[in-house]
Structure 1
């Protein structure tokens, strides 16, 4: 009996499959975002131990051994967040949770400038190096605890046209909403397992905000964000 071996798909084919089979079905239809996912190579931002899973529909640990909460978000989640922020080329963006730098690379390719805050020093160094190798010059990674001292590390360059939290939170801190410029948008994954909601908050006035929750997902927690009790009396 003759055994035939199917060749492994090329990186370009695997990337195409990711876009067409995972990301488009998640209602990511913005042509700018789809083109960007083909141009910014996700596999270059994935830790070496997980290169073979670069295009898989899953979160990937960023540390060996894995550290709770420190993971690269699934491709479709990153893509949908990037789309729903409605970024413009003139936008100034804040990201909390740089991870490997992939989301910062996507954001920087759509906006004017990105400041990405990462609590883990080794990951901050990794993100900087990955962004440098990718030729992304308009994203800077700062190592800091974003939530400390009333989000002081986030406020240095505010206000921002867009803020994205690359991980989940129990609730959106008002201190972050205060950093939005008029018309600015914040994207976060909010709530508790087993179901969280993607939450897009738009600043419509000095003290007024409009909130939409267009889709559901689950994501690892960002570290040190306020964690109120789930119980209500």
Structure 2
């Protein structure tokens, strides 16, 4: 594991994450250990631990560290959980989840981004994380049910196939709303009932797919 940027990584956790109220010790430890700079383009590595998202190519981004931490804490991942991520990006969120869960499946719509995610995950030895290039709004029914599902792109509503693939007692975290602004919502399945609570406003790139935004919806 890379020892570069260790001081910057620890400061990121203390100043940007713990100081803002994230307290789950497993989440803090995972983010303290994982070299975030290996998940951004080489020319941006010096900015990898800043308090902001960064572009990773093809119009996609790696989320602000604080938002990664918040979403992970809200997901309440246990060590025996199986997790589904919608939107692999560079693989950073999936790698964090891989440190907390038994198994992670991550779906990426763009094949070139899926390749990047696999390469980055291999660098950090995340062998329990699997990246699939596919339409994330459909989930992975062949591998369901999942104890936790996370959507890392803004969606007008949660795709029904993802609710269908959520285990009883499972949690789903998603940014739900319009193209420019969403609210981070936590859903929990209790038998046939889905209960939800809102965390606050966020801004993500759009979730594109059969049950998300269509490409034509994004044309100004």
Is TM > 0.5 for Structure 1 vs Structure 2?
yes
Secondary structure class of the residue paired with 1:109: helix
2:61 is matched with 71
Aligned to 1:231: none
Residue matched to 1:22: 16
Secondary structure class of the residue paired with 1:80: helix
Hey, what does 1:89 align to over in structure 2? Answer: 79
2-structure distance, mates of 1:82, 1:114 = 13
* Distance in 1 (alpha carbons) for counterparts of 2:179 and 2:208: 16
For the residues of structure 2 that align with 1:166 and 1:213, how far apart are their CA atoms? 16
Return the alpha-carbon distance in structure 2 between the equivalents of residues 226 and 89 of structure 1. Answer: 30
Unmatched segments (≥5 aa) in structure 2:
215-220
1:159 partnered with 2:145: yes
Q: Is 2:205 the partner of 1:211?
A: no
SS at match of 2:199: strand
SS of the residue 1:62 aligns to: strand
After TM superposition, list the pairs within 5 Å mapping 1:88-107 onto structure 2.
Answer: 88-107=78-97
Cα distance in structure 2, aligned partners of 1:203 and 1:130: 32
Aligned to 2:218: none
Say yes or no: does 1:182 pair with 2:182.
Answer: no
TM-score (norm 2): 0.90
Structure 2 counterpart of 1:36, from 16, 30, 35: 30
Q: Which residue of 2 aligns with 1:3?
A: none
Q: Computing the radius of gyration over CA atoms, which structure comes out larger, 1 or 2?
A: 1
Match of 2:116 in 1: 126
Q: In structure 2, the residue corresponding to 1:190 is in which secondary structure?
A: strand
Cα RMSD, aligned residues only: 1.8
Q: 1:48-67 alignment to 2 at 5 Å? A: 48-63=42-57, 67=58
Query: Unaligned regions of 5+ residues in structure 1, if any?
Result: 1-9, 229-233
| Displacement over 3 Å in runs of 4+ | none
Give 1:47's aligned residue.
Answer: 41
